[in-house]
Amino acid sequence: MAVVASAPGKVLMTGGYLVLERPNAGIVLSTNARFYAILKPLYDALESDCLAVEWMDLKVNSPQMSRETTYKMSLKDFTLQCSSESKNPFVEYAVQYSIAAAYATLDKNKRNKLLKLLSQGMDITILGCNDFYSYRNQIEARGLPLVPESLAILKPFTSITFNAEESNVEDCKPEVAKTGLGSSAAMTTAVVAALLNYLGVVDLPLYSTNQKNDKSLDLDLVHMIAQTAHCIAQGKVGSGFDVSSAVYGSHRYVRFSPNVISSAQEDVDTTPLDEVVGDVLKGKWDHERTNFSLPPLMNLILGEPGSGGSSTPSMVGAVKKWQKSDPKKSKDTWNKLSEANSALEAQFNLLSKLAADNWDSYKAVITGCSMLKSEKWMEQFSEATHVEIVKALLGARDAMLKIRFHMRLMGDAAGIPIEPESQTRLLDVTMDTEGVLLGGVPGAGGFDAVFAITLSDSSTNLTKIWSSHNVLAMLVREDPHGVSIESDDPRAK
Ligand SMILES: Nc1ncnc2c1ncn2[C@@H]1O[C@H](COP(=O)(O)OP(=O)(O)O)[C@@H](O)[C@H]1O
Ligand SMILES: C[C@@](O)(CCOP(=O)(O)OP(=O)(O)O)CC(=O)O
């Protein structure tokens, strides 16, 4: 029986860099761009009950990268032997940690069933939605216009463009031309979820369009294993907002204390992996997760400026260096950023409340503003309830302008392009478009996609403006669903 699990990509709307340190919060929106892991046994089940299996065969397929890798995994110490050069550490650690978690959590009665499943080997196919990658080159090569309709023509799960190797060194470009939706976190989470579900450790819900199940203990287990595997594969402990949103969907995130994972990193060479994972599962996971969703009638839009993306770890390194070299100024900038982040969150929460309290007024204001530039919003309305809503919209814009200002200051001081000049020009035009509430650089910034929040049906205004600025509006939208089980192979849809 195959198991198909999926996990979403994300956009960190506020909290870039700050979310690396507790108790700063980040607001992360999950998207309808998902990674899928399709897990099947390689062989039929053994007839006999004699289960003295010591090795498990593993095959990992990544059709979009034209990669197929075979491994043998020791069931004594969970080490992997790889048949070739091409490796995928995210998937490898996800497999090792998930199987070790099954050993650590399943009682003796269930061990035989586990061994039987492992003796059948595993075939894992990994697929990422097109939105995770840049297809600009392919669109240009086909002579198609830079509009979302051209992206819609591409087959689902199209092959990925690799950045030229020289540019990886000089410009700190990532390996693949990515858009910044967090491919490695969504991929790791999907693989962990598929494995834990297949091995009977968790029983995850099916993806359904109207249910958001974010309280389950099973999700917490997937979160702990995926977070640990992802950190160890990356060789660093990031804030973890990307794995958290891949598991739980959109939310307000405050990071876990790094020592829940750093002790696993230290013990991993000296202690059996199932014990290390057992300790991780018993650790004091103190991350915070609060519900957050965009107010009604607002849409998240992403634009791909076509520069191949930026490498987040090198940007984070530069900011940390600046914090050490200039503690006073960096603290001051972070305080101002933190205030602006909180202000934006407060305006969004206020708008959600105003929508709930007085839907008709809210709808009238959002629809009215969606056709106009922001400078004209206030003069349209005189009724107190309407004016209050417009004030909240303008308050959100104002907070975003402050966030952008301090992000630029941080970039200048740290010597890295957090909001590069080209993105500043683009975002100024974006925020001056009819029906656009705000726009910014998500996450670490740089040359990944930019985001905008648009009102009601106004997105096509922005799509056209972006196209005239050589920016490709992507098809991706917010979708609050976290990790799920799928009823079918996504290629069958
Ligand atoms: N479809 C895929 N199949 C296999 N591995 C993938 C796929 N997409 C991305 N990856 C892996 O994830 C890495 C990108 O992760 P990372 O640099 O952390 O970017 P992101 O910001 O998108 O998470 C790639 O270098 C590759 O190893
Ligand atoms: C700087 C950060 O706070 C945010 C980075 O966010 P991105 O969304 O830019 O991340 P990538 O998916 O790796 O490109 C680092 C962190 O929180 O770990």
Give me the DSSP letters along 137-188: HHHHHTT--SSHHHHHHSPTTPPPPBPPHHHHHHS---SB-B-SS-HHHHHH
Question: pLDDT tens digits for 233-290?
Answer: 988 768 999 999 999 999 999 999 999 988 777 877 788 898 999 999 999 999 999 9
Which DSSP string corresponds to 49-114? S-----EEEEEEEEGGGTEEEEEEEETTT--EEESSS---HHHHHHHHHHHHHHHHHS-HHHHHHH
Q: Is 19 in the pocket of ligand 1 (CB under 6 A)?
A: no
Q: Is 88 in the pocket of ligand 1 (CB under 6 A)?
A: yes
According to the model, what pLDDT value does residue 103 have?
93
Nearest CA to ligand 2 atom 6: 443
* Confidence grade of residue 168 (pLDDT, cut at 50, 70, 90): very low
d(CA 208, CA 389): 32
The amino acid present at 229, given as its one-letter code, is A
According to the model, what pLDDT value does residue 465 have?
96
Closest listed residue to residue 226, CA positions, set 34, 87, 95, 59: 95
Q: Is 257 in the pocket of ligand 1 (CB under 6 A)?
A: no
* Confidence grade of residue 118 (pLDDT, cut at 50, 70, 90): very high
Strand order in 298-304's β-sheet? Answer: 436-440, 450-455, 298-304, 472-473
Atom of ligand 1 nearest to the CA of 309: 21
Atom of ligand 2 nearest to the CA of 182: 12
Whether residue 170 has pLDDT greater than 50 = no
Residue 65 CA to ligand 1 center (angstroms) comes to: 10
Nearest CA to ligand 1 atom 17: 174
Nearest CA to ligand 1 atom 14: 184
Least confident of 258-262, 399-403, 465-469: 258-262
Ligand closest in space to the Cα of 10 = 2
According to the model, what pLDDT value does residue 175 have?
64
Ligand closest in space to the Cα of 176 = 1
Q: Which positions ≥6 away from 138 have C-beta within 8 Å?
A: 154, 158, 161
Atom of ligand 2 nearest to the CA of 12: 8
What is the CB < 6 Å shell around ligand 2? Answer: 12, 16-17, 19-20, 180, 182, 238-239, 241-242, 312, 316, 442-444, 448
* Confidence grade of residue 167 (pLDDT, cut at 50, 70, 90): very low
Nearest CA to ligand 2 atom 8: 443
Whether residue 362 has pLDDT greater than 50 = yes
Whether residue 448 has pLDDT greater than 90 = no
Least confident of 105-119, 208-222, 384-398: 208-222
* Confidence grade of residue 109 (pLDDT, cut at 50, 70, 90): confident
d(CA 343, CA 349): 10
Whether residue 464 has pLDDT greater than 50 = yes
Helix, strand or coil, per DSSP, at residue 252 = strand
Q: Do residues 380 and 372 touch, judged by C-beta distance below 8 A?
A: yes
Whether residue 160 has pLDDT greater than 90 = no
Q: Is 13 in the pocket of ligand 1 (CB under 6 A)?
A: no
Beta pairing partners, 282: none
Q: Is 174 in the pocket of ligand 1 (CB under 6 A)?
A: yes
According to the model, what pLDDT value does residue 379 have?
97
Q: Do residues 196 and 222 touch, judged by C-beta distance below 8 A?
A: yes
pTM: 0.94
Nearest CA to ligand 1 atom 13: 184
Q: What is the ipTM of this complex?
A: 0.97
Q: Is 309 in the pocket of ligand 1 (CB under 6 A)?
A: no
Give ∠ CA 8-9-13 in degrees, rounded to 5: 125
Nearest CA to ligand 2 atom 15: 17
Ordered domains of the chain (ranges, CATH): 3-292+485-489 (3.30.230.10), 298-473 (3.30.70.890)
3-state class percentages of the chain: helix first, strand second, coil last, to nearest 5: 45, 20, 35
d(CA 417, CA 430): 19
Q: Do residues 197 and 204 touch, judged by C-beta distance below 8 A?
A: yes
Preceding amide of 23 cis, omega within 30: yes
Nearest CA to ligand 1 atom 27: 88
d(CA 338, CA 341): 5
Closest listed residue to residue 89, CA positions, set 185, 192, 265, 233: 233
* Averaged pLDDT score across all residues of the chain: 92
Pairing of strands 55-62, 122-128: parallel
Over pLDDT 90: what percentage of the chain? 77
According to the model, what pLDDT value does residue 169 have?
45
Nearest CA to ligand 1 atom 9: 183
Instruction: Look up residue 118 and give its DSSP letter.
Output: H
Q: How far is the CA of 198 from the CAs of 57, 95, 123, in angstroms?
A: 16, 12, 12
* Confidence grade of residue 350 (pLDDT, cut at 50, 70, 90): very high
Q: What b/e string do you get for 99-109 counting C-beta neighbours within 10 Å, with b at 16 or more?
A: bbbbbbbbeee
Instruction: Look up residue 45 and give its DSSP letter.
Output: P
Which DSSP string corresponds to 431-493? HTSTTEEEEE--TT-TTS-EEEEEETTTHHHHHHHHHHTT-EE-S--B----SEEESS-GGG-
Pick left, alpha or beta for residue 235 (phi over 0 → left; psi -120 to 50 → alpha; otherwise beta).
left
Q: Is 176 in the pocket of ligand 1 (CB under 6 A)?
A: yes
Q: What b/e string do you get for 4-18 counting C-beta neighbours within 10 Å, with b at 16 or more?
A: bbbbbbbbbbbbbbb
Whether residue 311 has pLDDT greater than 80 = no
Whether residue 178 has pLDDT greater than 60 = yes
Atom of ligand 1 nearest to the CA of 311: 17
According to the model, what pLDDT value does residue 234 have?
87
Over pLDDT 70: what percentage of the chain? 94
Ligand closest in space to the Cα of 61 = 1
Ligand closest in space to the Cα of 233 = 1
Residue 183 CA to ligand 1 center (angstroms) comes to: 5
- Residue 143, Cα to own-chain centre: how many angstroms? 31
Averaged over 157-184, what is the pLDDT? 70
Helix, strand or coil, per DSSP, at residue 38 = strand
Atom of ligand 1 nearest to the CA of 160: 1
Atom of ligand 2 nearest to the CA of 241: 17
According to the model, what pLDDT value does residue 49 have?
62
Nearest CA to ligand 2 atom 14: 180
Whether residue 119 has pLDDT greater than 70 = yes
